[in-house]
Structure 1
Amino acid sequence: MQTMHKYFLLLFGTLLLFSCDSGMVYDEYQSIDNSKWASENKIEFIVSNTDTISSKNVFITIRNNKNYEFSSLFLIAKIEFPKGLRVVDTLEYEMADAQGKWLGSGFTDVKENKLFYKENVVFTEKGDYKFSIQHATRSIHDIEGENPLNGITDVGLSIEKVN
């Protein structure tokens, strides 16, 4: 009977795994060396697109540790379309609440924040889209961005189909 119970749990878990359709189109991360992100260090992702009909949500995912010094994060995000059109956005995301508690998920010192970048967008051109992300967060004493941003461990990009 014990063996039958184990097989049932294994079968149920397998079915559950395959029945979940998150609609994930793209999901990639790049690590930041020594968790020190230089302002000139652009994180780039190349996304190949063949679906010119479906709506998608685009997310920027940031992983930070306790060494991150700010309650918000400023990013410059660019999309270069296959035929050359470029879209540039300056974004601000809250990383901590008013009491200084980190937002995001995770049980360790590293927190992951899945941040909306583009919502309900249709990529109408087939081909490679180039996404680039760089930070624009500065301390009051570092207007030129000479010091790296501490505590960012990974930067990711994910694209999901809208149901």
Structure 2
Amino acid sequence: MKRLGVVLVIMWLFVGCDTNAVYKEYTDIDDGKWYIKNAPSFTFEIADASIPYNIYYNLRNSLSYGYYNLYLTRYLRDSSGKELESRLDELILMDPKTGKPNGDGLGDLFDHKVLMKHNYRFPKPGKYTIQIRQYMRQDPLLNILSVGVTVEKASTAN
């Protein structure tokens, strides 16, 4: 157990260095069992709505995860709770043919940063919430350890 804590701290330091990030947060999934009813929410502030942002899923899973992909439903809401968007996304966590994990790994843990929205412009400055729900047939979904969101200022080179 102590080894797992050291690994998690090292991975946190490794992925915690996004200079363009205006928001980055994870929610741990208790015992690696993600129930459909467990839909983490991430609320963040957008100060400048005149610039584009890239939004990413952050996901941590163990190699024992039983699928090569993960279906997630995401909901984007403004500060009044109005739903601006809902969408089903598929994240590819492993090569479907070889089973080789995607993402950055250390031991049997893998971190994934998957683009959710590219060059997105928020309608106005203010608070926004993204809620994420797993949309697989298995309930609970095993070996998903944490899920999160990163919001970054988009590079002007794009």
Question: Normalising by structure 1, what TM-score?
Answer: 0.79
Larger C-alpha radius of gyration, 1 or 2?
1
- Which runs of 5 or more structure 2 residues have no equivalent in the other structure? 1-16
Following the alignment from structure 1 to structure 2, what is the Cα–Cα distance between the partners of residues 68 and 161?
32
Matched, 1:36 2:36: no
Runs of 4 or more off by more than 6 Å in structure 1?
none
Which of the pair is proportionally richer in strand? Answer: 2
Matched, 1:56 2:53: yes
Residues 3-152 of structure 1 mapped to structure 2, 5 A cutoff: 22-83=19-80, 84-97=82-95, 98-138=97-137, 145=138, 147-152=139-144
Following the alignment from structure 1 to structure 2, what is the Cα–Cα distance between the partners of residues 82 and 119?
21
CA RMSD of aligned residues (A): 1.5
Q: 1:21 to 1:37 in 2, by over 3 A?
A: closer
Q: Deviations over 1:74-120 (max 9, x none)?
A: 00000002352431010001111121111110221110010110100
Question: Normalising by structure 2, what TM-score?
Answer: 0.82
| Number of matched pairs | 137
2:8 — aligned with what? Answer: none
Following the alignment from structure 1 to structure 2, what is the Cα–Cα distance between the partners of residues 82 and 157?
17
Shift of 1:21: 7.4
| Fraction of identical pairs, as percent | 30
